[in-house]
Amino acid sequence: MIDFFLRHRRLAFFILLILLTALLRFSGFFSFFSFPAFPVKIAGVAGDFTDWIISVPSQFFVSGQASTENDSLRIEASKLKIAELECLNIRKENDRLKELLDIPLEEELKPMGAKVLMGGISSFSRSIFVNRGTADGVEAGSPVLFEDKVAGKIIKAGRHVSLVYLVNHPEISVDVIVARTGTRGVFTGGTVCKVKYVDSEQEIVPGDELYSSGRGGVFPQRFRVGIVDSVASQKTGVFQKVTATPVIDPRKLDFVFIVKSPGLSEIKDMAQE
């Protein structure tokens, strides 16, 4: 025993400290040593200490078990959070589709819903890809709409994916009218979008809303295109210098509609003759 205490001095000191503390807890330090209370109390202290030694492993086991259960609960909570976010996304998507169904499309346009696959990273993005193609009846030149706005036009149609140039693309032009006055012009894309061919005698001012006129055989009428930014104060020629901003935000394009304009095929055929 002495050799054990000599080899394990720290443990022996720890045990003696516990015993001393236990002794002082009982009623009176000196009364502790009175006979026959002394042997009884020594036995009680020894029993308490033994119970404590025995309980330590179980405490660690219970603590480890609780930690494992907490980890499982955290995992389940994370799964529930992911499921909640998925439900929220589905709800938002359904709301968006309901909004899209309320746009003022003419029945003969036969709109086809399409999901945006790529594009629209910034407000300056000029093209997107959609998940519709020739297998769905899509053809190059078909107008693309977003809510009550003109989004752009199909440029290339693959079998299941199509490339769309947005209205801010330099190669896209839309025949427009000023909602307030009926003044006509042609909205053209570019780094700075412009409204060309606005007669110098016609009224147009910053803030005027531009709608598709339906002329040109491509884009249907009554869809928003842009808002006038500036009009040159000096009229030096036949046409006014007008700049405008598209109403679409490429970053918000998620679902669009592809429509087949009634005059598109005939115009193509006549242009090839």
Residues 120, 233: one domain? yes
- Residues 144, 151 contacting (CB under 8 angstroms): yes
Pairing of strands 184-188, 149-157: unpaired
pTM of the model: 0.60
| Listed residues 102, 120, 141: the one ending a domain | 102
pLDDT for 125 equals: 83
What span, in angstroms and rounded, lies between the C-alpha atoms of 235 and 255? 41
Domain-located, residue 269: no
**Beta-carbon count within 10 A of 192 CB:** 12
**Beta-carbon count within 10 A of 50 CB:** 10
Residues 124, 83: one domain? no
Residues 77, 131: one domain? no
| Listed residues 102, 136, 153: the one ending a domain | 102
Residues 130, 245: one domain? yes
Residues 98, 182: one domain? no
Least confident of 16-20, 39-43, 141-145, 245-249: 39-43
Total domains present in the chain: 2
Please tell me what DSSP assigns to residue 170. Answer: T
User: Over the stretch 168-220, which tens digit does the pLDDT of each residue have?
Assistant: 999 999 999 999 999 999 999 999 999 999 998 899 999 999 999 988 778 88
Q: Who's near 178: CB < 8 A, 6+ residues apart?
A: 184, 185, 203, 204, 208, 209, 210, 228
DSSP codes of every residue in 12-63: HHHHHHHHHHHHHHSS-TTGGGSTTHHHHHHHHHHHHHHHHHHHHHHHHHHH
Residues 40, 22: one domain? yes
Structure tokens at 207: 């803030």
| Listed residues 80, 102, 124: the one ending a domain | 102
Three-state DSSP state, 101: helix
What span, in angstroms and rounded, lies between the C-alpha atoms of 147 and 255? 9
User: Over the stretch 96-148, which tens digit does the pLDDT of each residue have?
Assistant: 666 666 655 555 567 888 899 987 676 778 999 999 999 998 999 999 998 88
Structure tokens at 30: 């000196």
**Phi, psi values for residue 139, rounded to 5°:** -135, 155
Residues 134, 230: one domain? yes
Position 3, amino acid: D
pLDDT for 104 equals: 57
Residues 179, 63: one domain? no
Domain that holds residue 30: 1-102
pLDDT for 33 equals: 44
- CATH code of the domain covering residue 174: 2.40.10.340
Q: Who's near 256: CB < 8 A, 6+ residues apart?
A: 113, 114, 116, 128, 130, 144, 145, 146, 151, 164
Domain-located, residue 35: yes
Residues 87, 202: one domain? no
Q: Is the dihedral of CA 86, 91, 97, 100 positive or negative?
A: negative
For 48, half-sphere exposure in the C-beta direction (CA atoms, 13 angstrom radius) is 15
Q: Who's near 97: CB < 8 A, 6+ residues apart?
A: 113, 255
Domain-located, residue 96: yes
Residues 53, 118: one domain? no
pLDDT for 221 equals: 86
Residues 48, 151: one domain? no
